[in-house]
Amino acid sequence: MAEINKMAAEIADVQPGIQVPGFSLEKYKYLWSDFMNGLWSENPVLKLVLGLCSTLAITTSTQNGLGMGCAGLFVLTGSNGLISALRKVIPGKVRIPAFIVIIAGFVTLTDLTMAAYTPVLYESLGIFIPLIVANCIILARAEAFAARNPVDRSIMDGLGMGLGYLLTLTVLGTIREIFGNGTVWGASIFGENYIPMIVFILPAGSFILLGLLTGFFNQFTGSKKMTSTEVGCH
Protein backbone atom coordinates (compact mmCIF):
# COMPACT_ATOMS: atom_id res chain seq x y z
CA MET A 1 0.00 0.00 0.00
CA ALA A 2 2.81 2.40 0.89
CA GLU A 3 4.60 1.68 -2.41
CA ILE A 4 1.44 2.37 -4.43
CA ASN A 5 0.89 5.69 -2.66
CA LYS A 6 4.56 6.59 -3.17
CA MET A 7 4.35 5.86 -6.92
CA ALA A 8 1.20 7.98 -7.22
CA ALA A 9 2.94 10.88 -5.46
CA GLU A 10 6.00 10.60 -7.76
CA ILE A 11 3.84 10.68 -10.90
CA ALA A 12 1.95 13.70 -9.58
CA ASP A 13 5.26 15.50 -8.94
CA VAL A 14 6.54 14.84 -12.47
CA GLN A 15 3.26 15.77 -14.16
CA PRO A 16 1.29 18.08 -11.82
CA GLY A 17 -1.72 18.19 -14.13
CA ILE A 18 -2.35 14.47 -13.74
CA GLN A 19 -4.03 13.17 -10.62
CA VAL A 20 -3.27 9.52 -9.84
CA PRO A 21 -5.40 7.99 -7.09
CA GLY A 22 -3.49 6.19 -4.40
CA PHE A 23 -4.51 3.09 -2.50
CA SER A 24 -7.34 3.77 -0.04
CA LEU A 25 -8.02 1.12 2.55
CA GLU A 26 -11.18 2.99 3.54
CA LYS A 27 -12.65 2.36 0.09
CA TYR A 28 -12.16 -1.39 0.41
CA LYS A 29 -13.76 -1.33 3.84
CA TYR A 30 -16.86 0.17 2.22
CA LEU A 31 -16.87 -2.51 -0.48
CA TRP A 32 -16.53 -5.31 2.07
CA SER A 33 -19.31 -3.78 4.18
CA ASP A 34 -21.57 -3.52 1.11
CA PHE A 35 -20.91 -7.17 0.31
CA MET A 36 -21.49 -8.46 3.85
CA ASN A 37 -24.74 -6.52 4.31
CA GLY A 38 -26.58 -8.82 1.92
CA LEU A 39 -25.19 -11.96 3.51
CA TRP A 40 -25.70 -11.02 7.11
CA SER A 41 -27.15 -7.79 8.47
CA GLU A 42 -29.55 -7.16 5.56
CA ASN A 43 -30.19 -10.64 4.19
CA PRO A 44 -32.94 -10.03 1.61
CA VAL A 45 -35.11 -12.99 2.67
CA LEU A 46 -34.38 -13.56 6.35
CA LYS A 47 -33.93 -9.90 7.34
CA LEU A 48 -35.74 -7.71 4.81
CA VAL A 49 -38.43 -10.33 4.09
CA LEU A 50 -38.39 -9.72 0.32
CA GLY A 51 -38.77 -12.11 -2.60
CA LEU A 52 -40.98 -14.52 -0.68
CA CYS A 53 -43.02 -15.64 -3.70
CA SER A 54 -40.16 -17.48 -5.41
CA THR A 55 -38.62 -18.44 -2.07
CA LEU A 56 -41.72 -20.32 -0.96
CA ALA A 57 -42.77 -21.70 -4.33
CA ILE A 58 -39.70 -23.29 -5.88
CA THR A 59 -37.57 -24.49 -2.94
CA THR A 60 -38.81 -28.09 -3.03
CA SER A 61 -35.29 -29.37 -3.77
CA THR A 62 -31.65 -28.35 -3.59
CA GLN A 63 -31.41 -28.07 -7.39
CA ASN A 64 -34.35 -25.70 -7.60
CA GLY A 65 -33.10 -23.47 -4.80
CA LEU A 66 -29.57 -23.35 -6.20
CA GLY A 67 -30.79 -22.71 -9.76
CA MET A 68 -33.15 -19.89 -8.82
CA GLY A 69 -30.52 -18.42 -6.49
CA CYS A 70 -27.89 -18.36 -9.25
CA ALA A 71 -30.34 -16.74 -11.66
CA GLY A 72 -31.21 -14.08 -9.08
CA LEU A 73 -27.51 -13.50 -8.32
CA PHE A 74 -26.68 -12.90 -11.99
CA VAL A 75 -29.60 -10.56 -12.63
CA LEU A 76 -29.08 -8.62 -9.40
CA THR A 77 -25.35 -8.11 -9.91
CA GLY A 78 -25.63 -7.23 -13.61
CA SER A 79 -28.57 -4.86 -13.25
CA ASN A 80 -27.01 -3.14 -10.24
CA GLY A 81 -23.81 -2.47 -12.15
CA LEU A 82 -25.52 -1.20 -15.31
CA ILE A 83 -28.04 0.95 -13.47
CA SER A 84 -25.27 2.52 -11.43
CA ALA A 85 -23.28 3.24 -14.59
CA LEU A 86 -26.30 4.96 -16.16
CA ARG A 87 -27.61 6.65 -13.02
CA LYS A 88 -26.58 10.15 -14.16
CA VAL A 89 -28.06 9.64 -17.63
CA ILE A 90 -31.50 8.24 -16.76
CA PRO A 91 -34.05 11.03 -16.09
CA GLY A 92 -35.53 10.90 -12.62
CA LYS A 93 -39.13 10.90 -13.83
CA VAL A 94 -38.70 7.68 -15.83
CA ARG A 95 -36.15 5.93 -13.64
CA ILE A 96 -38.46 3.08 -12.52
CA PRO A 97 -39.51 2.08 -16.09
CA ALA A 98 -35.85 2.35 -17.13
CA PHE A 99 -34.78 0.12 -14.24
CA ILE A 100 -37.40 -2.47 -15.19
CA VAL A 101 -36.25 -2.50 -18.83
CA ILE A 102 -32.64 -3.06 -17.74
CA ILE A 103 -33.66 -5.82 -15.32
CA ALA A 104 -35.83 -7.42 -18.00
CA GLY A 105 -32.84 -7.53 -20.34
CA PHE A 106 -30.79 -9.53 -17.85
CA VAL A 107 -33.77 -11.78 -17.07
CA THR A 108 -34.25 -12.52 -20.77
CA LEU A 109 -30.58 -13.44 -21.09
CA THR A 110 -30.89 -15.72 -18.06
CA ASP A 111 -34.09 -17.29 -19.37
CA LEU A 112 -32.64 -18.10 -22.80
CA THR A 113 -29.36 -19.40 -21.35
CA MET A 114 -31.11 -21.75 -18.92
CA ALA A 115 -33.48 -22.98 -21.63
CA ALA A 116 -30.48 -23.83 -23.82
CA TYR A 117 -28.06 -25.36 -21.30
CA THR A 118 -30.17 -26.56 -18.32
CA PRO A 119 -33.53 -27.60 -19.86
CA VAL A 120 -34.54 -29.86 -16.96
CA LEU A 121 -34.00 -27.12 -14.38
CA TYR A 122 -35.63 -24.62 -16.73
CA GLU A 123 -38.79 -26.73 -16.91
CA SER A 124 -38.77 -27.24 -13.14
CA LEU A 125 -38.58 -23.50 -12.37
CA GLY A 126 -41.07 -22.62 -15.09
CA ILE A 127 -42.75 -19.23 -14.89
CA PHE A 128 -40.65 -18.15 -11.92
CA ILE A 129 -37.65 -17.40 -14.15
CA PRO A 130 -39.36 -14.59 -16.15
CA LEU A 131 -41.01 -13.45 -12.92
CA ILE A 132 -37.56 -12.44 -11.65
CA VAL A 133 -38.36 -9.13 -13.35
CA ALA A 134 -40.96 -8.48 -10.64
CA ASN A 135 -38.76 -9.68 -7.77
CA CYS A 136 -38.78 -6.91 -5.17
CA ILE A 137 -35.22 -7.62 -4.09
CA ILE A 138 -33.83 -6.58 -7.47
CA LEU A 139 -35.95 -3.48 -8.00
CA ALA A 140 -35.47 -2.41 -4.37
CA ARG A 141 -31.67 -2.56 -4.64
CA ALA A 142 -31.78 -0.69 -7.94
CA GLU A 143 -33.80 2.15 -6.44
CA ALA A 144 -32.30 2.20 -2.95
CA PHE A 145 -28.62 1.55 -3.72
CA ALA A 146 -27.50 1.28 -7.36
CA ALA A 147 -29.15 4.56 -8.40
CA ARG A 148 -27.30 6.42 -5.64
CA ASN A 149 -23.83 4.82 -5.53
CA PRO A 150 -20.84 4.21 -7.83
CA VAL A 151 -20.47 1.08 -9.95
CA ASP A 152 -17.99 -0.78 -7.74
CA ARG A 153 -20.12 -0.43 -4.62
CA SER A 154 -23.28 -1.34 -6.54
CA ILE A 155 -21.70 -4.51 -7.91
CA MET A 156 -20.54 -5.55 -4.45
CA ASP A 157 -24.03 -4.84 -3.10
CA GLY A 158 -25.52 -6.99 -5.87
CA LEU A 159 -23.08 -9.81 -5.15
CA GLY A 160 -23.81 -9.73 -1.43
CA MET A 161 -27.58 -9.56 -1.80
CA GLY A 162 -27.52 -12.20 -4.53
CA LEU A 163 -25.42 -14.59 -2.48
CA GLY A 164 -27.64 -14.04 0.55
CA TYR A 165 -30.65 -14.89 -1.60
CA LEU A 166 -28.89 -17.91 -3.13
CA LEU A 167 -27.76 -19.36 0.20
CA THR A 168 -31.19 -18.93 1.77
CA LEU A 169 -32.95 -20.68 -1.12
CA THR A 170 -30.38 -23.48 -1.21
CA VAL A 171 -30.60 -24.17 2.52
CA LEU A 172 -34.39 -24.05 2.46
CA GLY A 173 -34.57 -26.32 -0.58
CA THR A 174 -32.12 -28.81 0.91
CA ILE A 175 -34.01 -29.12 4.20
CA ARG A 176 -37.35 -29.52 2.40
CA GLU A 177 -35.90 -32.18 0.08
CA ILE A 178 -34.31 -34.14 2.93
CA PHE A 179 -37.45 -34.40 5.02
CA GLY A 180 -39.99 -34.27 2.21
CA ASN A 181 -38.36 -36.83 -0.11
CA GLY A 182 -35.58 -38.39 1.95
CA THR A 183 -33.01 -37.37 -0.68
CA VAL A 184 -30.24 -34.84 -1.29
CA TRP A 185 -29.65 -33.85 -4.91
CA GLY A 186 -31.85 -36.81 -5.88
CA ALA A 187 -29.79 -39.39 -3.95
CA SER A 188 -31.52 -41.31 -1.16
CA ILE A 189 -29.98 -40.82 2.28
CA PHE A 190 -32.45 -42.65 4.58
CA GLY A 191 -32.94 -45.84 2.61
CA GLU A 192 -36.04 -47.45 1.15
CA ASN A 193 -37.88 -47.73 4.47
CA TYR A 194 -38.03 -43.97 5.04
CA ILE A 195 -41.53 -42.52 5.00
CA PRO A 196 -41.34 -38.99 3.56
CA MET A 197 -42.90 -36.17 5.53
CA ILE A 198 -44.97 -34.76 2.67
CA VAL A 199 -45.80 -31.58 4.55
CA PHE A 200 -42.28 -30.29 3.88
CA ILE A 201 -42.78 -30.17 0.11
CA LEU A 202 -46.25 -28.65 0.40
CA PRO A 203 -46.88 -24.88 0.66
CA ALA A 204 -47.67 -25.18 4.36
CA GLY A 205 -44.29 -26.75 4.99
CA SER A 206 -42.46 -23.97 3.19
CA PHE A 207 -44.22 -21.32 5.30
CA ILE A 208 -43.45 -23.15 8.55
CA LEU A 209 -39.81 -23.83 7.68
CA LEU A 210 -39.15 -20.31 6.43
CA GLY A 211 -40.67 -18.90 9.60
CA LEU A 212 -38.42 -21.09 11.73
CA LEU A 213 -35.31 -20.19 9.72
CA THR A 214 -36.14 -16.49 9.93
CA GLY A 215 -36.69 -16.72 13.68
CA PHE A 216 -33.42 -18.60 14.30
CA PHE A 217 -31.46 -16.27 12.03
CA ASN A 218 -32.77 -13.11 13.68
CA GLN A 219 -32.31 -14.56 17.15
CA PHE A 220 -28.71 -15.43 16.33
CA THR A 221 -27.82 -12.18 14.57
CA GLY A 222 -30.04 -9.84 16.56
CA SER A 223 -32.67 -7.64 14.95
CA LYS A 224 -34.52 -4.45 15.62
CA LYS A 225 -38.29 -4.19 15.55
CA MET A 226 -39.53 -3.23 12.07
CA THR A 227 -42.02 -0.45 11.59
CA SER A 228 -44.81 -0.55 9.03
CA THR A 229 -42.84 1.72 6.66
CA GLU A 230 -39.86 -0.66 6.63
CA VAL A 231 -41.77 -3.71 5.43
CA GLY A 232 -41.41 -4.12 1.66
CA CYS A 233 -43.36 -6.02 -0.98
CA HIS A 234 -42.97 -9.75 -1.43
Percent with pLDDT over 90 in the chain: 61
Between 151-181 and 136-144, two packed helices, what is the crossing angle to 10 degrees?
160
Gap between the Cα atoms of 64 and 54, Å rounded: 10
Query: pLDDT, tens digit, for every residue of 8-66?
Result: 455 445 444 444 454 455 667 888 888 998 888 899 999 999 999 989 999 999 999 99
Residues 39/73, Cβ–Cβ less than 8 Å = no
Residue 138 has pLDDT above 50, yes or no: yes
Q: Please report the pLDDT score of residue 179 as a whole number.
A: 92
pTM of the entire predicted model: 0.82
Q: Please report the pLDDT score of residue 113 as a whole number.
A: 96
51 Ramachandran zone, left/alpha/beta (phi>0; psi -120 to 50): left
Residues 81/158, Cβ–Cβ less than 8 Å = yes
Query: pLDDT, tens digit, for every residue of 72-111?
Result: 999 999 999 999 999 999 998 999 999 999 999 999 999 9
DSSP symbol at 44? T
Gap between the Cα atoms of 84 and 90, Å rounded: 10
Q: Please report the pLDDT score of residue 224 as a whole number.
A: 56
**Which H helix or E strand runs over 183?**
strand 183-184
DSSP symbol at 188? E
Residues 76/165, Cβ–Cβ less than 8 Å = yes
Longest Cα–Cα distance of the chain, Å, equals 79
Residue 232 has pLDDT above 70, yes or no: no
Residues paired with 183 in a beta bridge: 188
Distance of CA 133 to the CA centre of its chain: 13
Gap between the Cα atoms of 46 and 27, Å rounded: 28
Q: Please report the pLDDT score of residue 234 as a whole number.
A: 54
Residues 6+ apart with CB under 8 A from 76: 137, 138, 141, 158, 161, 162, 165
| Mean pLDDT for the stretch of residues 170-190 | 90
CA-wise closest residue to 65 among 137, 139, 141, 121: 121
